[in-house]
Amino acid sequence: MQGRPGVCRGVLAETGLDGMHLHHRLTSSSLVLLLQQWAGADGGQARPDVAEHLGQWLSAVNAVRLNGALHSIESYPAQAPEPGRAVDLRALEGVLEGLLAELSGLAVAKAAPARAARGRRGAAAAEQIDPGAELKFSTHGQRYLGLQKQMEARLGTARAQLRHWLAQGSPALRQLAALDAVMEQMLTEREQRLWALLPGFLEGRLAHWHGLHARRLAESGQEDAPGQWRQPGGWLSAFDQDVRALWQAEVQVRVLPIMGLLEAARNENR
């Protein structure tokens, strides 16, 4: 990439898609701050380990492949876009707003309790949860992984849609759309492996809240009431709040490429 300060290099820096800028935004994001807070509360590792671990996916860019892509993209014809094909900023902003609302809605939805195995034809009472399943991290980890799959599908669709619209704009935006497609292709596999590690941070939170719950029961001499675990003040209710906090923080990081595309369109419009 050295010695090629062309359009692609410029839009990388301007939109925050360059590695150093993205690394800074990631390591100062609410996601890393949240994990640092949990690591301190749960006796985990300190800030540099968390930030560097999450930042590994940013250093996976193969410089040779990216340099070849930049050469190819910068050789695109520089003709002006066809009349009447200006980028519709309002439509792009609407895509982002709808995406954020949809992803936030997934986090707000209340987690359904694991049902007890007993009871036929779904006749078990609503409060008759399966305490053993709720105590297992696998129950909650699989639920979060399922949400991540929904997010990945929605992000991929929205990102491709924005690239399609940008590809009809100015030469600089067409180059950016092509560059973003290359970056997504190069990073997706590694991203998915690292994002799949995030639910593991919730395992400590589950143990944390259940441990507090168990100590309170021991101190008060009260019997446990699994039906109240998810009621306000219950330990699973507190854990669910941690799940939602992690989800929102993850969303903020994972929409950065889409926000970068939108910001580039705004700058071009100015």
Share the mean pLDDT of the chain.
76
pLDDT value, residue 128: 61
pTM of the predicted structure, to 2 decimals: 0.75
Which whole number is the average pLDDT over 208-218?
95
Q: b vs e for 208-227, b when ≥16 Cβ sit within 10 Å of the residue's Cβ?
A: bbbeebeeeeeeeeeeeebe
CA nearest 144: which of 68, 197, 88? 197
User: Cα–Cα distance between 132 and 140 in angstroms, integer?
Assistant: 12
pLDDT value, residue 75: 67
Better-predicted residue by pLDDT, 176 or 59: 176
DSSP H helices in 124-224:
131-135, 137-166, 171-195, 201-220
Structure tokens at 255: 């929409």
Better-predicted residue by pLDDT, 63 or 37: 37
Confidence of residue 189 (pLDDT cuts 50, 70, 90): confident
Structure tokens at 262: 């939108």
Which whole number is the average pLDDT over 223-243?
93
pLDDT greater than 50 at residue 169: yes
Q: Which residues contact 179 (CB under 8 A, 6 or more apart)?
A: 8, 11, 12, 17, 69, 70, 73
Confidence of residue 48 (pLDDT cuts 50, 70, 90): very low
pLDDT digits (tens, 9 = 90+) for 69-124: 666 677 665 544 454 467 788 889 999 999 999 998 887 766 666 655 555 455 44
DSSP H helices in 3-130:
7-15, 19-27, 30-41, 47-55, 63-74, 89-108
CA nearest 101: which of 251, 249, 263? 251
Better-predicted residue by pLDDT, 81 or 242: 242
pLDDT value, residue 67: 64
pLDDT digits (tens, 9 = 90+) for 111-162: 666 655 555 455 444 446 788 889 999 999 999 999 999 999 999 999 999 9
Residues in a beta bridge with 115: 129
Structural domain spans, the chain: 7-76+88-110+130-269
Confidence of residue 9 (pLDDT cuts 50, 70, 90): very low
pLDDT value, residue 155: 95
pLDDT value, residue 249: 93
Confidence of residue 3 (pLDDT cuts 50, 70, 90): very low
In order, the DSSP letters of 99-116 are: HHHHHHHHHHSPPPPPBP
pLDDT digits (tens, 9 = 90+) for 246-264: 999 999 999 999 999 999 8
Residue bearing tokens 């999450």: 54
Confidence of residue 228 (pLDDT cuts 50, 70, 90): very high
pLDDT value, residue 125: 46
User: Cα–Cα distance between 149 and 14 in angstroms, integer?
Assistant: 30
Residue bearing tokens 């929904």: 150
pLDDT value, residue 146: 92
CA nearest 259: which of 169, 178, 158? 158
User: Cα–Cα distance between 93 and 90 in angstroms, integer?
Assistant: 5
